[in-house]
C-alpha cells in the first residue's frame, strides 16, 4: 500500500496595512437559532439500530446479512423455474438435441425468447442441482445422463447469441395462432390480431414495430401499420434446420452438395414464411373494420366531390341557359322596341309629311281662296306668279314654319288679310337672310 504524503501549503499573506476594523466587510447577518426535531433515518441508522438491538458487532452483522441475501437469491432462483417436468422429456436421447425444446428443458417455456441471460443461468443452475449425474448416483438412481446432456446443450444454445437467434427463428411454440372467424365474432378482434402481430414482431430487423391499434386508431396509424408489415424485413434465416455438413476434407463434393441443399432449403422456407405472413396480412386487412370504415368515408367523400362537381356543372349549364334566354329575350325586346321605334318614326314621318302636305295645301288653298289676289278672273300669268312665290317661300321655310304659317292662314277668307300674312312672312324671311329683298314677284 502506498504511503500518504503530507503537503504543507501556507495561507496567503494579508495585504500590508489590512485590518479587520476598517477592511472587513460583512455580506450578511447571522440568523437567530431555531429548535427543530430531527428524525433518525437512512440505511446507516437502520444498520446501527439492528446491531444495537441484536447486540452484534460490525463483522457479525455483515456475515448474517450476507447469509440472508444468499437465501433470498436461492428463493428467487426457485421462483423462476416453476413449471413441472414432462416425464417424456426426461427420457430424451442426448443425440436428438436439435429437435428438443431448449426453453422447455430449462423450464422457461413461459418466457421463451423473452427470457433474459440471467434467467437462463439461474434455470441452468437449478436444473444442474437437480439432475447432475453425481447427485443422482448419490441418491442411488441408475438413470443415465442423457437429460443432463440435454440441459447442457440447451444452455449452450441459449447463452450463445447466434445459436439462440437461430433457434428462436424456428421456435414455433412462441407463435400465436391466427384467430378464427368464430373467435373474431365473439372476442375483441383488435386484441386478438394484436397478439398475433406482437408475436411476429420479434423477427423484425426494424424496432420498434408499429402496434396494431384499436377501433380509435387514425387512418394514418392504420396505413403505417400495414405499410410496415407489407414491407416487413425479417431476420429469420432458418439455419437451425440445416442438415449437418460432414467436416471431412476428403469428401468435398458431398460437403458442397449439402451446403447447396441447405441454402435451397433455407430459401424455400423463407419464401414460405413470406407467403404465410402475406396471407396473414390479407386475412387481417380483409376483416379489419377500420379499413372498411376508411373506404366508406373515402367513397362518401369521392361521391360528394362527384355530386358537387355534377351539381356545379348542372348549375353552370342552367346559368348559361338562363343567360342565353335572357340575352335572347333582351335582344328580342330590343328588336321589338327598335321596330316599334322605327314604326313610330315612320308613322311620325308620314304624319309629319302628311301634315306638311296638308299645310302646303292650306298655303296653296289660301291664295286660291283669295282668287290669286285678282279683281276678276285671274289670268294664268298671275296664277303662275302667285304660285311661284308660294313655292319659293315654302322652299325657304321648315315644316314647323310651314305649320305656323298655315295656322295663320287657316280660316282666313279676305284676300287682303291673306296677302298681308304672306307679305309679313316674306319680310321675316328677308330679315332672317333666307330671302333677298325683291326676290318674290307678288309679295315683295
Q: Does residue 396 contact residue 429 with C-beta atoms inside 8 Å? A: yes
Taking the alpha carbons at both ends of the chain, their separation in whole angstroms is: 166
What percent of the chain has a predicted confidence (pLDDT) above 70?
A: 93
DSSP 116: -
pLDDT at 267 over 90: yes
Categorize the per-residue pLDDT at 340 as very low, low, confident or very high, splitting at 50, 70 and 90. Answer: confident
Mean pLDDT of 47-70: 87
Which phi and psi angles does 204 have, rounded to 5°?
Answer: -80, 135
Look-up of cell digits 441471460: 117
The topology under which CATH files domain 81-173 is Helix Hairpins (1.10.287)
Q: Does residue 158 contact residue 115 with C-beta atoms inside 8 Å? A: yes
Categorize the per-residue pLDDT at 1 as very low, low, confident or very high, splitting at 50, 70 and 90. Answer: very low
Give the start-end residues of each E strand in 62-127: none
Of 378 and 191, the structure prediction assigns the larger pLDDT to 191
Of 70 and 295, the structure prediction assigns the larger pLDDT to 295
Distances (CA, A) of 47 to 61, 67, 70, 73, 433: 8, 16, 18, 21, 147
Mean pLDDT of 316-345: 90
Domain boundaries, the chain: 81-173, 175-287, 353-432
Q: Does residue 264 contact residue 241 with C-beta atoms inside 8 Å? A: no
State residue 220's pLDDT score: 93
State residue 76's pLDDT score: 56
Mean pLDDT of 149-169: 93
State residue 203's pLDDT score: 92
> Which CATH entry fits the domain spanning 353-432: 1.20.1440.230, 3.30.70.100, 1.10.8.840, 1.20.1630.10?
1.10.8.840
pLDDT at 366 over 90: no
Supply 400's cell numbers.
314647323
Burial of residue 168 (number of CB atoms within 10 Å: 0-12, 13-18, 19+)? buried
State residue 184's pLDDT score: 87
Candidates 435, 360, 440; CA nearest to 401 is 360
Supply 60's cell numbers.
457479525
Mean pLDDT of 118-130: 90
pLDDT at 231 over 90: yes
Other Cβ atoms closer than 10 A to 107: 23
Supply 359's cell numbers.
299645310
State residue 42's pLDDT score: 83
State residue 280's pLDDT score: 93
Burial of residue 375 (number of CB atoms within 10 Å: 0-12, 13-18, 19+)? exposed
Other Cβ atoms closer than 10 A to 54: 10
35-49, 203-217, 243-257, 429-443: the lowest-pLDDT one: 243-257
12-16, 195-199, 310-314: the lowest-pLDDT one: 12-16
Amino acid at each position: 500500500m502506498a504511503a500518504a504524503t503530507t503537503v504543507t501549503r501556507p495561507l496567503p499573506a494579508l495585504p500590508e496595512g489590512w485590518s479587520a476594523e476598517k477592511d472587513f466587510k460583512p455580506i450578511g447577518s447571522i440568523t437567530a437559532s431555531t429548535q427543530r426535531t430531527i428524525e433518525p433515518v437512512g440505511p446507516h441508522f437502520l444498520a446501527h439500530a439492528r446491531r444495537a438491538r441484536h447486540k452484534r458487532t460490525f463483522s457479525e452483522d455483515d456475515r448474517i446479512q450476507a447469509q440472508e441475501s444468499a437465501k433470498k437469491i436461492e428463493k428467487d432462483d426457485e421462483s423462476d423455474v416453476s413449471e413441472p417436468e414432462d416425464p417424456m422429456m426426461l427420457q430424451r436421447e442426448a443425440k436428438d438435441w436439435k429437435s428438443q425444446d431448449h426453453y422447455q428443458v430449462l423450464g422457461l417455456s413461459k418466457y421463451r425468447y423473452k427470457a433474459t441471460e440471467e434467467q437462463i443461468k439461474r434455470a441452468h443452475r437449478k436444473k444442474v442441482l437437480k439432475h447432475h449425474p453425481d447427485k443422482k448416483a448419490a441418491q442411488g438412481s441408475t438413470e443415465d445422463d442423457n437429460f443432463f446432456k440435454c440441459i447442457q446443450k440447451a444452455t449452450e444454445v441459449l447463452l450463445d447469441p447466434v445459436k439462440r437467434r437461430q433457434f428462436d427463428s424456428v421456435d414455433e411454440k412462441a407463435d400465436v395462432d391466427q384467430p378464427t372467424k368464430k373467435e373474431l365474432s365473439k372476442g375483441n378482434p383488435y386484441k386478438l390480431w394484436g397478439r398475433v402481430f406482437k408475436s411476429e414482431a420479434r423477427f423484425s430487423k426494424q424496432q420498434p414495430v408499429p402496434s396494431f391499434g384499436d377501433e380509435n386508431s387514425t387512418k394514418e396509424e392504420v396505413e403505417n401499420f400495414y405499410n410496415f408489415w407489407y414491407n416487413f424485413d425479417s431476420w429469420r434465416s432458418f439455419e437451425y434446420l440445416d442438415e449437418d455438413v460432414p467436416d471431412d476434407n476428403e469428401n468435398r463434393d458431398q460437403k458442397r452438395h449439402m451446403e447447396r441443399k441447405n441454402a435451397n432449403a433455407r430459401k424455400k422456407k423463407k419464401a414460405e414464411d413470406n407467403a404465410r405472413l402475406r396471407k396473414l396480412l390479407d386475412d387481417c386487412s380483409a376483416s379489419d373494420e377500420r379499413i372498411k370504415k376508411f373506404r366508406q368515408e373515402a367513397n362518401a367523400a369521392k361521391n360528394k366531390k362527384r355530386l358537387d362537381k355534377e351539381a356545379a356543372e348542372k348549375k353552370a349549364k342552367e346559368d348559361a341557359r338562363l343567360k342565353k334566354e335572357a340575352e335572347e329575350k333582351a335582344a328580342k325586346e330590343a328588336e321589338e322596341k327598335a321596330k316599334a321605334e322605327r314604326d313610330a318614326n315612320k308613322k311620325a314621318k308620314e304624319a309629319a309629311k302628311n301634315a306638311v302636305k296638308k299645310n302646303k295645301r292650306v298655303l296653296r288653298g289660301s291664295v286660291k281662296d283669295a282668287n290669286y289676289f285678282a279683281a276678276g278672273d285671274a289670268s294664268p300669268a298671275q296664277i303662275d306668279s302667285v304660285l311661284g312665290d308660294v313655292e319659293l317661300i315654302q322652299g325657304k321655310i321648315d315644316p314647323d314654319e310651314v305649320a305656323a304659317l298655315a295656322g295663320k292662314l287657316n280660316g282666313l277668307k279676305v284676300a287682303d288679310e291673306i296677302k298681308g300674312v304672306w307679305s309679313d312672312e316674306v319680310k321675316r324671311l328677308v330679315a332672317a337672310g333666307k330671302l333677298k329683298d325683291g326676290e318674290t314677284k307678288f309679295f315683295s
